[in-house]
Amino acid sequence: MLAVGSDLESSRAAVACASRYDDVYAAVGLHPHEAGRFPDEAAEIEALLDQPKVVAVGEIGIDRGRENWSVDVQTLAFHEQLAWAQARNLPVSIHNRNADADVLSALENFSVVAVLHCFSSSAAFATQALEAGCMLSFAGNLTFPKANSLREVARSVPAECLLIESDAPVLAPQPWRGQRNEPARVPAVCETLAEVRALDVETVANDVWKTAERVFRWGAA
């Protein structure tokens, strides 16, 4: 699994977790909620990219739903980190809230494999993102009763572009909704995906495993 950072401290924790457990890899990056700290933390986060088992840059992105920092400040940090990923040929994990257009236009300017984490956008955007070569990663909100349109999107994503995640500590899937989330709950996301794709759970688990292995290059790190 991939442990994902959101600032310097949590990126260090992800790297430490990866060094301790064989099956854990790390992503390091500065989340848009923390974008104003980029000038202070950038150099040390970038240095973490050279640590063993760091296989991605993330979470990075744009959040227009909760603007702790102006979109300009967020965009600066986002683009700088996309450049890090491009220079090292690393994939990125993107946080996108109400920022579909910002994300797509940024990706036009960088040659990176992008995982749209906790995909929650429309079917139309899913089509555009897949055409742009993105991976779509689904979290616990896929299991929520009202998430019919999201399940409709998840039904038709090509297996080779499909990922699942916890987004812990938030978005615990049914029946744990509202509780602190953890990676042990991810199978519930896989079960919902299997249901909507009319496949057995093992097949979907194998599909997302293969996608993760290819995108994050487990084993080569």
Q: Give one DSSP letter per residue of 14-50, joined into a string.
A: HHHHHHH-TT-EEEE---GGGGGGHHHHHHHHHHHTT
Reference 118, options 99, 97, 91, 103; nearest CA is: 97
- 100-108 helix and 71-88 helix, angle to the nearest 10 degrees: 40
CB of 139 to Zn ion, least distance (A): 9
Helices and strands in the chain: count of H runs, count of E runs: 8, 7
Q: What residue number has its CB nearest to Zn ion?
A: 95
Report in angstroms how near the CB of residue 95 gets to Zn ion at its nearest: 3
Nearer to Zn ion, 96 or 143 (CB): 96
Instruction: Give me the least distance between CB of 200 and Zn ion, in Å please.
Output: 29
> Smallest gap, in angstroms, from Cβ of residue 115 to Zn ion?
11
Contact between residue 150 and residue 123 where contact means Cβ atoms under 8 Å apart: no
Cα separation, 187 vs 44, whole angstroms: 34
Q: Which CB, 121 or 194, lies closer to Zn ion?
A: 121
Give the nearer residue to Zn ion in terms of CB position, either 75 or 194. 75
The residue ranges that bind Zn ion (CB under 5 A) are 95
* Residue placing its CB nearer to Zn ion in the complex, 34 or 207: 34
